[in-house]
Amino acid sequence: MPPRRVIGIDAGGTKLLGGVVDEGLVVHHRVHRTWRGGDRSETIDIIVESVEEVRAAAPDVAAVGFGIPALVEWETGVSRWSTHLPLADVRFRDVMSERLGLPVVVDNDANAALLAESRFGAARFVSNAVLVALGTGIGSGLLLDGRIYRGARGLGAEIGHMVIDLHGPDCQGACPGRGCLEVMASGSAIGREGRAAAAALPESALGRRLAAEQEITGGIVTELAHAGDAAAVSVLAQIGRRLGYGLVGVVNVFNPELIVIGGGAIAAGELLLGPAREVVSERALPPAREMVEIVPATFGDESGMLGAALLAFDSLEGSV
* Residues of the shown chain interacting with its own copies in the complex, contacts defined by CB under 8 A: 71, 80-81, 126-128, 142, 144-145, 147, 149-159, 161-167, 175-179, 242, 245-246, 248-249, 252-257, 282-288, 291
Q: How far is the CB of 236 from its own copies (least distance, A)?
A: 17
CB burial readout 126-137, b (16+ within 10 A) else e: eebbbbbbbbbb
Nearer to its own copies, 46 or 110 (CB): 110
For residue 54, count other CB atoms closer than 10 A to its CB. Answer: 22
Q: What is the DSSP string of 19-43?
A: EEEETT--EEEEEEEE--S--HHHH
Q: How far is the CB of 101 from its own copies (least distance, A)?
A: 29
Nearer to its own copies, 76 or 217 (CB): 76
Distance CA 135, CA 34 (A): 14
Nearer to its own copies, 25 or 163 (CB): 163
Nearer to its own copies, 23 or 282 (CB): 282
For residue 252, how many C-alpha atoms fall within 13 Å in the half-sphere facing its CB?
13
Q: How far is the CB of 65 from its own copies (least distance, A)?
A: 22
Instruction: Evaluate whether 247 touches 276 at the Cβ level (below 8 Å).
Output: yes
Residues near 4 by beta carbon (within 8 Å), at least 6 away in sequence: 22, 23, 62, 313, 316
Q: How far is the CB of 260 from its own copies (least distance, A)?
A: 14
Q: How far is the CB of 177 from its own copies (least distance, A)?
A: 5
Q: How far is the CB of 280 from its own copies (least distance, A)?
A: 10
Nearer to its own copies, 5 or 192 (CB): 192
Nearer to its own copies, 71 or 100 (CB): 71
For residue 212, count other CB atoms closer than 10 A to its CB. Answer: 7
Instruction: Evaluate whether 219 touches 298 at the Cβ level (below 8 Å).
Output: no
Instruction: Evaluate whether 314 touches 308 at the Cβ level (below 8 Å).
Output: no
